[in-house]
Amino acid sequence: MNSRTAGALCAITLAGMATAGAQTLPADVLVNPQTPNKTVWHFPKENSASPEERPHRRDLSKWTTLSYEDTRATPPPQRVSLDAPLAGDPARGRQIAMNTQQGNCWACHALPGDAQPGTAGPSLLGFAQRGYSDEKVYQQVFDARVQNPYTFMPPYGAFGTLTEQDIRDIVAFLQSIR
């Protein structure tokens, strides 16, 4: 497993699934209210048994986690439909997919131009040849739990991680991969 895949799986483990209201966080969640975004990552310190806490770029404290102590509710999967023509920009979709602070698709999937592909999800090489409809792909990126309730894929649209246009652009990018 490469470092990007490991990082993505850590983020998924920490972020879990959804916003969970104002309930108390479990004790084993990496949150520090003193940091700008509350959420922290543990990084190893050289010659030390204690990790260093570094701030995460997002506040993930409202999302449920995979902690056994986290009893906050997870919102149900959200089914959506693609109401208008896709109107996505494949170039922008590629930028979002390859950006570690946005889609970060390459952390789990093999994509064109990625020298160190992720392996947690299926390869997306030759994706257009699979013949999926834009609507099916849009649903998968928006909230994959509709099609697979046990997925590790983050529900990018259902939890507001990506906008509707971001998802349209990612779908256009995926549908352009020959």
Model pTM score: 0.72
pLDDT value of residue 22: 47
pLDDT value of residue 15: 43
Predicted confidence (pLDDT) per residue in 140-176, tens digit: 999 999 999 999 899 999 988 899 999 999 999 999 9
- The total number of structural domains in the chain stands at 2
Checking 120-124 for CB contacts under 8 A at 24+ apart, the result is 120/1, 120/5, 120/8, 120/9, 120/152, 121/152, 121/153, 124/174, 124/177
- What whole-number distance in Å separates Cα of residue 51 and Cα of residue 54? 9
Nearest-5° Cα angle at 107, 106 to 111: 20
Residue 153: inside a domain: yes
**Are residues 47 and 98 located together in one domain of the fold?**
no
Contact 108, 94 (CB under 8 A): no
The domain spanning residue 155 has which CATH number? 1.10.760.10
**Are residues 168 and 102 located together in one domain of the fold?**
yes
Predicted confidence (pLDDT) per residue in 56-112, tens digit: 877 777 777 778 888 888 789 999 999 899 999 999 999 999 998 899 999 999 999
Range of the domain at 45: 19-55
**Are residues 108 and 168 located together in one domain of the fold?**
yes
Q: How far apart are the first and last CA of the chain?
A: 26
Residue 84: inside a domain: no
- What whole-number distance in Å separates Cα of residue 50 and Cα of residue 38? 20
Residue 71: inside a domain: no
Per-residue pLDDT at 23 exceeds 70: no
Q: Which helix (H) or strand (E) holds 44?
A: none
**Are residues 107 and 153 located together in one domain of the fold?**
yes
**Are residues 163 and 103 located together in one domain of the fold?**
yes
**Are residues 49 and 94 located together in one domain of the fold?**
no
**Are residues 99 and 160 located together in one domain of the fold?**
yes
Predicted confidence (pLDDT) per residue in 42-57, tens digit: 889 899 988 998 888 7
